[in-house]
Structure 1
């Protein structure tokens, strides 16, 4: 199953260059890489990245993250995937830009 990570373009470029990343500033602050399911990712973008240009959506292979992936309660008690190690390029299945369209981010099919 794919789960998703949102990065800003410079964060995505840094991940590609280094081959791994501890994530965005919020990930560094919280001590894990925040991820979302397909059902959660659009709300995550609307809540935390509203109107922000230059976002990239990463699809990540959940099976590659075991055993460092934990499902923990967050927004509204929903279980969110949290990665307790660096995110690696080898974890990424595909990436796609999230362009703004009428003030909302346009998602590829998930």
Structure 2
């Protein structure tokens, strides 16, 4: 298991996380009952599959997996890929805490490819 998991976050969500100290994520997270995360090698394909036509500013949050404890669960989503999902203790759906974020970087889009130093 990796030391870090990653959250693709809108600028608005990242600002809310910084000001409120935690977030429940977006509509997809709330309807799923967990915060959607990615392993580093999944970030680029997730960006390309779900955010390529997004007109909003995006940030990549590097999250310390140890600080999420047993609330972090790796689940098989399509028979092939296992994605990290943050539920919180006993799958109670708690917000993602700001103190779990080790680093945040703004993503740039150039020639159909997202970039930031965390992806290099």
TM-score by length of 2: 0.85
- Residue 45 of structure 1: SS of its match in structure 2? helix
Moved more, 45-54 or 12-21: 45-54
What's the secondary structure of 1:36's corresponding residue?
A: coil
Cross-structure match for 1:31: 33
Structure 1 gap ranges (5+): none
Aligned residue pair count: 110
1:67 aligned partner: 70
Taking only aligned residues, the RMSD between alpha carbons, in angstroms, comes to: 1.3
Unaligned runs of 5+ in 2: 88-93
Structure 2 CA distance, aligned partners of 1:104 and 1:76? Answer: 26
Partner of 1:42: 44
Runs of 4+ in structure 1 over 3 Å off: none
- DSSP-derived class of the 2:117 partner: coil
